[in-house]
């Protein structure tokens, strides 16, 4: 990552789940900045610098997006489809992080070009392990294209 600050956009409407993800990422020093939004419309506003995120410094490009599927206002699958269909956002890795293990949801997420699909563990220790491994994979092991 060439020493630049790492930003993660967390799109999660469940405050308890968001706190667990943030705590896990922070305790493993995965990101310098974690931006949390609670619905799909806010995620799109952030990514396309609209509304409250219109100021240039209000919405730095994330290096990774963690996206729940069941979101108010705009569904997670629609957010994914929108992000992956725009040249300026399609290369940003999107990891679906959800409670659904339904095959239909998995298939739809990959059809819309999700980079990964993870089911949130119910066990606290397993959840913390997941966030640790997630950070190591995307920021230490994974190689992305230049400029993403």
pLDDT by residue (tens digit) across 40-78?
999 999 999 999 999 878 899 999 999 999 999 999 999
**Has residue 132 got a pLDDT over 50?**
yes
Residue 139 reports pLDDT greater than 80: no
Full 3-state SS string of the chain: CCCCCCEEEEECCCHHHHHHHHHHHHHCCCCCEEEEECCHHHHHHHHCCCHHHCCCCCCCCCCEEEECCCCCCCCHHHHHHHHHCCCCCCCCCEEEEECCCCHHHHHHHHHCCCCEEEECCCCHHHHHHHHHHHHHHHHHHCCCCCCC
Predicted confidence (pLDDT) at residue 101 exceeds the cutoff of 70: yes
pTM for this prediction: 0.92
Question: Which carries the bigger pLDDT value, residue 112 or residue 1?
Answer: 112
pLDDT of residue 128: 87
| CATH fold of 7-137 | Rossmann fold (3.40.50)
Q: Provide mean pLDDT across the span 14-19.
A: 94
């Amino acid at each position: 990552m060439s020493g630049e600050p790492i930003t993660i956009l967390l799109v999660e409407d469940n405050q308890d789940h968001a706190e667990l993800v943030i705590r896990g990422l922070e305790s493993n020093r995965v990101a310098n900045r974690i931006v949390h939004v609670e619905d799909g419309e806010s995620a799109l506003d952030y990514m396309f610098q609209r509304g409250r995120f219109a100021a240039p410094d209000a919405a730095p490009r994330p290096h990774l997006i963690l996206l729940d599927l069941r979101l108010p206002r705009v569904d997670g699958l629609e957010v994914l489809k929108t992000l992956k269909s725009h040249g300026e956002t399609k290369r940003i890795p999107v990891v679906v992080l959800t409670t659904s293990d339904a095959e239909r949801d998995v298939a739809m997420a990959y059809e819309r070009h999700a980079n990964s699909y993870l089911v949130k563990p119910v066990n606290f220790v397993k959840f913390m392990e997941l966030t640790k491994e997630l950070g190591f994979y995307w920021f230490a092991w994974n190689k992305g294209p230049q400029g993403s």
